[in-house]
Amino acid sequence: MKTVLILAYDFPPLRSAGAQRPASWYRHLHVSGWYPAVVTRHWDPGSEKPENFVKSSNSKILTKECTPSGSLIRVPYKANFRDRMILKYGLTKFRFIRRMLSFIISVLRFYLPCADPSRAIYRSAAAYLDENPADLIIATGEPFILFKYAFLLSRKYKIPYLLDYRDAWNTGDRPDGSLAGKIIHFPLLFFLERKYFRHAIHVTTPARCYAEKLRRIHGGTEVSVIMNGFQAEALPPESPAATDNFTVIYSGKLYPWQPLEVFLSILDSWLEEHHIRDFSMLFIGTDTDGSVLRRFSQSKAFGSDRIQFTGRLDYYAYIRLLHSAHLLLLLSKPGHAWLNAKLFDYLAAGRPVLMFQGREGEMETIIRSANAGVVAGEKDEAVRVLDACYREYRANGNIATKPIDIDQYSRERQCALLAEILDRCVV
């Protein structure tokens, strides 16, 4: 069995799409003849709160778990000065100073090891390679400092490496519109990204739109798409009964560019026009800080407690909630190139998907090819979908939908595709 060393900052028990991606490799790669050795940060249960991301981990020592199917090495995290500021004063005080420190750390960590708060991952990976042979290295980012670690380890131990872009680095909407970002951040880090990219034996990314951008900007190294997918083993043996109310569920983070306010306005008008009372909407794992809640302030449904929020849930509980919905909502915008990882969980739930806006994108292609729902580009289209789904709910108590060929989007299947790429890399 060949060995692949995986550098991953996010990993369970952290509840995020970024953590589930390398975790699926850890669970499934051994089936295809690869022994995964994962080096990650130690995460404490309940680390999803923003302040817990910068809190020193409860474990102060390195821990190892070794099984016939893989090894898992967790390194402790120690809060730096910026982190301790957040823990002491919160996220609202000294915001300018904190952001400046974050900006400085984000650049200096690539040049000064002492400025890198995750350096322990590199040291632990090197210690592993001192004692164990490996055929390949994977670094999955972000944080993209892991790409530097893969480059350095490859040069030291003569092992090829593969880069996995979960998100764009300097090839997306980064840096933001700030003057500091344009003058300092981009010039200092873009040439490093290009160097790490061009020395990699292969590059993977979860979306075709990301792959096209990487090929266009960097070129040279082959880029393949390994999608995020859904966790098939988490699906309930029997679909739970839908809720009594007509229930719409949105899962995940809300971004400023998503047309939330527009959709809420459409929803309010639809509820009022049809005098609908048996309705509820649930946002799962959505941040509820002041800036997010302000976006709901004009919604009548929010004011009447028809809209509820949950924190991030255990994956199994989250999947069961998706199965209890009547309609699953995605929010996008025209021309925005992205692929929301939650889409695959929606497909697995077997409930109709409504994507509001975002025509002619990769998500629309997947939704239509899987017969999983409707993409509504305009208000009238969204209203027609709500009308049709509500009528079927009133008539049958549920909404019939038959997604097709979704097994290709399971994490197990995507992991098998990754294994094929790894095999080609070490021939």
| Beta bridge mates, 246 | 279
Please state, rounded to an integer, the average pLDDT across all residues of the chain. 87
**pLDDT tens per residue, range 217-270:** 888 889 999 999 998 887 776 665 666 789 999 998 888 888 999 999 999 999
Cα 154 to Cα 10, 135, 320, 337, 383: the distances in Å are: 21, 10, 42, 32, 54
The CATH code that applies to domain 2-79+108-229+410-425 is 3.40.50.2000
Asked if pLDDT for residue 117 goes beyond 60, the answer is yes
**pLDDT tens per residue, range 262-295:** 999 999 999 988 888 889 999 998 877 777 888 8
CB-based contact 401:382 (threshold 8 Å) = no
- pLDDT band of residue 176 (cuts 50, 70, 90) is very low
Instruction: Looking at 46-111, list the stretches that DSSP marks H as alpha helix, in order from N- to C-terminal side.
Output: 81-89, 95-108
Q: Rounded to an integer, what distance in angstroms lies between the CA atom of residue 181 and that of residue 194?
A: 18
How much of the chain exceeds pLDDT 70, in percent? 93
Q: Tokens in use for 101?
A: 């420190």
- pLDDT band of residue 47 (cuts 50, 70, 90) is low
Q: Is this model's pTM higher than 0.75 or not?
A: yes
Strand order in the sheet with 223-225: 63-67, 70-75, 34-41, 2-8, 136-141, 161-165, 202-205, 223-225
HSE toward the beta carbon, residue 39, CA cutoff 13 A: 24
Q: Rounded to an integer, what distance in angstroms lies between the CA atom of residue 284 and that of residue 249?
A: 7
Listed residue (328, 363, 124) closest to 228, CA to CA: 363
The CATH code that applies to domain 233-406 is 3.40.50.2000
Q: Rounded to an integer, what distance in angstroms lies between the CA atom of residue 236 and that of residue 286?
A: 23
Residues of the chain with CATH 3.40.50.2000: 2-79+108-229+410-425, 233-406
Listed residue (141, 143, 157) closest to 203, CA to CA: 141
329 or 427, higher pLDDT: 329
